[in-house]
Structure 1
Amino acid sequence: MNNSQKRRLALVIAAMALVTLIILGRLVEFQIIQGPEWADRAINELLVVAKPSRGAIYDRNGAILAANTADYQISVSPPLVTEPEEAATALASVLDMPRYEILSIFNSDQPFSLLSGRVSPEVADLVREMDYDGLQIDPLPRRFYPQGELLCHTLGYVDFNGYGGGGVEGYYQLDLAGEAASKTINISPLNEQESVIAREGADLVLTIDRTVQYITEEKLRQALQEYGAQSGSIIVMNPKTGAILAAAAYPCYDPFEFYEADETVLFNPITQQQHEPGSVMKLVTMAAALDSGLFTPQSTYYDAGVLEVGGHKTVNWDRSAPGTTDMTTLLARSLNVGAATLSTTMGPDLYYEYMQKFGFGRPTNVDVMGEATGQMPLPGSEYWTESMLATNAYGQSIAVTPLQMITAASAIPNNGEIMQPYLVQEIHRGDDVIVHEPSVLSRPISPETAQEVNTMAVTAVAREVPNAQIPGYTIAGKTGTAEIAENGVYIDDTIASFIGWLPADDPEIMIYVKLDKPQTQPWGSLTAAPTFANLAKELVVLLDI
């Protein structure tokens, strides 16, 4: 080893010695000088986690729709169990568990073990009364819905991990759930105690009126039973604001026991079920045709009873050929050939420009979790065919959700403006209140056109839909009877619908009734229209209209 190597070795040894001295010094400092302080910290410092309570949900009048409760979890520390045989016998029937399984847990070497998952408060009380050593009962937060199945799809549910599924529970998850807080604090009595405060969940006030919702659901159930329909939905909206007063759909489920419901029932028909709307679409087609300037309420066309477009022959529902026909008669008699004449005269570019203004083919962006876009193939798309220009005009070969349909048609009773539909009126965060301000979603037609179609819709109901009329009130609206396609083939079953508003000269409510596969009668005029009238008769009294 030469002198250079010796010098390098000496430097390495010196550096290692210095590092060793530093480490030893720090150990002495931590263990001897600061030892009591660190020991005190280990005893007195504690990680504190503050968990927020989920916000409540109320109807527009303050009735509670969703609140918080708890299930319970039963755990055990086997070494602390002093009477395992007796305790296992007593717990077996209460927890609905085999005695040998409980006894096996009691005799295990585990310091702590879960004995039972979620149990009801009643079961927890029975276990608490037994007062056996080693048992531990811990609350598990759970959502509670005091109105039962009422408003199930709109509210949604909350799973056992605290996450909203569907409805406003899902859409407003971040607002409702709040935010937990955590901090390591010194709990020594010699120190000032610090607070750890979570951001509590916000409360929601809905536009829904619980009583209106209850009546709407009852009328829907009665209609399904009376007409033998498989399922259905009803929406009640204020067309001037977009506020949804009721949204009923059947079949429903109990949000408190969401885990027992079939997955298909958790699906929200109001915003996710797409269907061909049928003749209620003629309101929109008429509005677009008049607003385009190509037609006026006094215009006529010749109805030969058949119109061929793109190889598809459109015929009237009653196979009639009324000849020269005016616009009001077209709407009142719900003539398919007339609607197709309007759309084909407008041409694909202009017609679909209006259809997009009315919001078809895209979601309304209502504040619930999960909304379908609808289906409206446009010219140039591989899914669009020329025949659709005719069939779309009377609500076939196009798919909408119930909410899309009532939202689009709401331009007529609201002077040509479509308001943004919404379900939450207020968000309460502590002392702060955020109030929803109604906003315009689009203006597809002029106020003049809206008034013209409104007048025609009044005449249509007065002439052809006696089952939708209410004594003392002027009703505007339109029936719909849509064929149902399965695997690309139209079957005999129908979707019967009616959309109407009142009072027609200054509308306060708008109602869309949709009945799926009615068996007693296929026609909307004989099923959905009387359902509308039965509901509206009660709402005008309840809402003082």
Structure 2
Amino acid sequence: MTIKRDITWRVGVVYLLLVAAAIFVFGKVVYLQVVEGEEWREMQSHLTNREKSIEANRGNILACDGRKLACSVPSYRLHMDMKANGLTDEIFNANIDSLAYCLSSFFKDQSKTYYKRKLIAARQKGSRYYRIHRRRVSYTELKEIKQFPIFRLGKNRGGFITEQIDRRKLPFGMLASRTIGKLYEEKEKGGMIGLERAFDNELKGREGLSAYTRISGRWVPEEIIAPKNGLDIQTSLDIDIQDVAEKSLMKQLNKYEGGHGSAIVMEVETGKIKAIVNLHKTSKGKYIEDHFNYAIGEATEPGSTFKLASFIAVLEDGYINLEDSIDTGNGKMKFYDRWMRDSHRGGFGKISYQQVFEKSSNVGTSKMIVDHYKSDPKRFVERLYSMGLNRQNGIEIKGEGEPMIKYPGSKSWSGVSLPWMSIGYEVKMTPLQTLTFYNAVANNGKMVKPYFVTGIYEHGSLKKEYKPEIINPSICSLPTIEKVHEMLVGVVENGTAKNIRNSNYKIAGKTGTAQVAKGSGGYKGGSGVEYQASFCGYFPAERPKYSCIVVVKGLSSKGYYGNIVAGSVFKDIADRVHASGFDMAEEVVEAMPTSGVLPYSKGGTKNDLLTVFTTIKAPIDGKEVEADWISTLAQEHKINFSRKSFSNGLVPNVKGMGAKDAVSLLENVGLKVIVSGRGKVTQQSVSAGSRVVKGKQVFLKLS
């Protein structure tokens, strides 16, 4: 009985243990399924499924003629998996010397021994993602590197891994780079400033997705969602005008040692921005365009360019005639406790209102405004508001400065506000806002919104078009526009900007010279007086095509007058733009002779010549000639095209060419060009056929 009881007890214990184990297993299964199920299912998914995003190609930013201002260029980081399945010790040891030699020869920064030591150390550590070199390589370089020992065996046997990184490139360097913008370093943030930010949604596209499943130890693609590449945006910017504006502004900044400067060129009728330059002086004394978009974002006291608004106000209210006279005395006048002074020592005496504007008399302008608006300053300010001077333009690019036109009764209003506002102090406007105002005068009173982007394209097909937008149909009456137009022409013909007058076409505009306020230090501060020089206007005055403003800030006594510092830049831009323009096609067609020898033409680019001769309906022989540059021969019944060839490394012969083509050709081979005269090139200082010396100056005489 004792043995039977003992066996029964033992069997019972085993049974209970089995039951307990079963309950435990069942409970664990329930716990894993219910409590930890989601976590384990997610882990299993990672082990057997993998998703990888596919980056979309960012769209290009294009100039008005389709040339790329910003584009994405792939570069590659180089890595090595030292524990790749097929990378045996035999393969590694047999080829490590050759690989180290190739890397040393390619990068030219370290010895063969250095690379060999680093690679062996990474192999011993078992590194799965060893960075071969800090520098990224281009696609062309990558093709070469793929042929190196070990690497040519591929990813599995050679452990060679590449990581593609798209790098944003500006093919034209710093031309308009601040306006074009840049990206955050983290790609998911997209555009940081400029057009890159304003049109980030259109440019960035949409990422794709690749899904992989692990089957028998291999990752097999299961599903792929293709990325949608970004769209291209075409801007209104003209590379040639932009280049002229930048070089001219750079020259003046270097000459007069300004702190920073900006220049903008706008198409009068549409508001398209054709060029925008922002140059800032670095601590090393070099001017670059990567600091701030002064043309758009910096609202300052404009100075005398604001006098145009004051004159429009009194003319609209019918208070004056331009022929009427006003006594400016000895050029000094006191308003309360402050003296108003003219820049001309001794004053102008008794002069007409037209002359007040042409000579930029501070005393005459402020006295005119005070005489007519002292009892009702709100009327004057509301005139300014009706012109839209207190409103932002609402442009695409973020960061537009806020204009400031104070109102009577505000905290900052004082007894001297009215006279000082009349000459452009105690008000603030950005260069682009001032230009928009002047552009409205050139556009017969119609104020159009400035804009930078004309269209959005997908694979060359237009998806969205941007058209001119009117923001004020009439800033004033047409009779007033006609009067102030004559005043603006008079400034250049007879007044403060006579230095930019020329006999080929007329310029209308106004100079501005303002002292720069330095916060609580006033206008002088501890480091002396600082000035801002500006010129704003349009050309040709008879048929305004372009408006332009130039502002240079941070000037000292070395030179600060608007006509000299800013006006000279304006003239450089206007001269080059006017000389290269082709706006007379209709008149030419009407004036074409029906018989006799066809018109003479200078040599030039094939596209330009085809445009001209097609427009005037002249028969062409040699259209099929494949060449960028063409020589022409006018015959009795046709224009003959022939190839104009140039030898690499030799100075081209530009005699007979127009200035635009000659300068373009010579600068493209690395020469610096100085032009005098107008017409076709008759002489060049560096002989054609001689060796090109990069940076050498060549003088061209035109007649």
Length-normalised TM-score, structure 1: 0.82
Q: 1:180 aligns with which of 203, 207, 211?
A: 207
Matched, 1:474 2:512: no
Go from structure 1 to structure 2 and tell me whether the alpha carbon gap of 1:509 and 1:110 turns closer, same or farther (over 3 Å shift).
Answer: same
Query: For residue 396 of structure 2, what is the amino acid of its counterpart?
Result: D
Q: Which amino acid aligns with 2:308?
A: L
Name the structure, 1 or 2, with higher relative contact order (CA <8 Å, separation 6+). Answer: 1
Match in the other structure for 1:489: 523
Aligned residue identity for 1:161: E
Report the Cα offset of residue 424 of structure 1.
0.6
Show the counterpart of 1:171: 198
Give the alignment partner of residue 443 of structure 2, picking from 377, 399, 414: 414
Equivalent residue number for residue 296 of structure 2? 271
- Kindly indicate whether the alpha-carbon contact (under 8 Å) linking 1:187 and 1:193 is maintained by their aligned counterparts in 2: no
The separation in 2 between residues aligned to 1:131 and 1:348, in whole angstroms, is: 83
The code of the aligned residue for 2:498 comes to: P
Contact 1:202 1:427 in 2 (8 A): yes
Aligned residue in 1 for 2:487: 456
Shift of 1:206: 0.9
The 5-angstrom pairing of residues 309-328 of structure 1 reads: 309-328=335-354
Superposed displacement of residue 323, structure 1 = 4.2
Q: How does 1:121-270 map to 2 (within 5 A)?
A: 121=138, 124=142, 127-132=145-150, 133-162=158-187, 163-182=190-209, 184=211, 196-251=225-280, 265-270=290-295
Q: Which moved more, 1:121-130 or 1:56-65?
A: 121-130
Among residues 110, 124, 136, which one is paired with 1:107 in the alignment?
Answer: 124
Secondary structure of the residue aligned to 2:418 is helix
Report the counterpart of residue 612 of structure 2 in structure 1. none
> Residues 252 and 265 of structure 1 are in contact (CA less than 8 Å); yes or no, is this contact kept in structure 2?
no
**Distance (whole Å) between structure 2 residues aligned to residue 95 and residue 79 of structure 1:** 27
Match of 2:57 among 46, 53, 58: 53
Q: Give 2:565's aligned residue.
A: 527
Amino acid of the residue matched to residue 502 of structure 2? I
2:434 is aligned to 405
Q: How many pairs align?
A: 510
Classify 1:110/1:382 alpha carbon distance in 2 versus 1 (closer, same or farther; 3 Å).
farther
- Structure 1 unmatched ranges of 5 or more: 1-16, 28-38, 254-260
Which amino acid in 2 is paired with 1:488? G
1:437 aligned residue: 467
> Structure 2 vs 1, CA of residues 263 and 505 (structure 1 numbering), >3 Å: closer, same or farther?
closer
**2:549 maps to which residue?**
512
Distance in 2, Cα, partners of 1:285 & 1:91: 70
SS in 1 for 2:290: helix
Q: Quick check: 2:174–2:289 contact (8 Å CA) kept in 1?
A: no
State the partner residue of 2:680. none
Q: Please, which runs of 5 or more residues in structure 2 have no aligned partner?
A: 1-22, 34-43, 151-157, 584-703
Please state how far the C-alpha of 1:322 moved relative to its aligned partner. 3.5
| Structure 2 counterpart of 1:303 | 328
How far does residue 332 in structure 1 lie from its aligned partner after superposition? 0.6
RMSD: 3.7
Q: Aligned-pair distance for 1:116? A: 4.8
Q: 1:286 to 1:56 in 2, by over 3 A?
A: same
The answer to whether structure 1 residue 119 and structure 2 residue 136 are counterparts is yes
- The structural deviation recorded for 1:69 is 0.5
| Residues 321/220 of structure 1: CA separation in 2 closer, same or farther (3 Å cut) | closer
**Conserved in 2, the CA contact under 8 Å of 1:49 and 1:196?**
no
| Cα deviation digits, residues 347-393 of structure 1 (max 9, x gap) | 43223223334444543222223222244444344344332322222
Give the SS at the match of 1:78: coil
Cα distance change on mapping 1:184 and 1:72 into 2, 3 Å: closer
CA distance in 2: counterparts of 1:419 and 1:65, whole angstroms? 25
Take 1:63 and 1:264, find their aligned partners in 2: how far apart are those partners? Answer: 20
Q: Secondary structure at the match of 1:143?
A: strand
Indicate which of 275, 281, 287 corresponds to 2:312: 287
The change in CA–CA distance for 1:342 and 1:102 in structure 2 (over 3 A counts) is farther
Q: Return closer, same or farther for 1:528/1:264 CA change in 2, 3 Å cut-off.
A: closer
Q: Is the 8 A contact 2:264 2:276 kept in 1?
A: yes
The separation in 1 between residues aligned to 2:505 and 2:315, in whole angstroms, is 26
CA contact (8 A) 2:54 2:207 kept: yes
Verify the 8 A CA contact 2:279 2:288 in the aligned structure 1: no
| Cα distance in structure 2, aligned partners of 1:323 and 1:263 | 45
CA 229–125 in structure 1, closer or farther in 2 if over 3 Å, else same: same
Is the partner of 2:125 in helix, strand or coil?
coil
Deviation at 1:282? 0.9
Aligned to 2:478: 447
The change in CA–CA distance for 1:514 and 1:204 in structure 2 (over 3 A counts) is same
State the distance in 2 between where 1:183 and 1:378 align: 61
1:364 and 1:421 in contact (8 A); partners too: yes
Match of 1:33 in 2: none
Q: Which amino acid aligns with 1:524?
A: G
Q: Percent identity?
A: 23
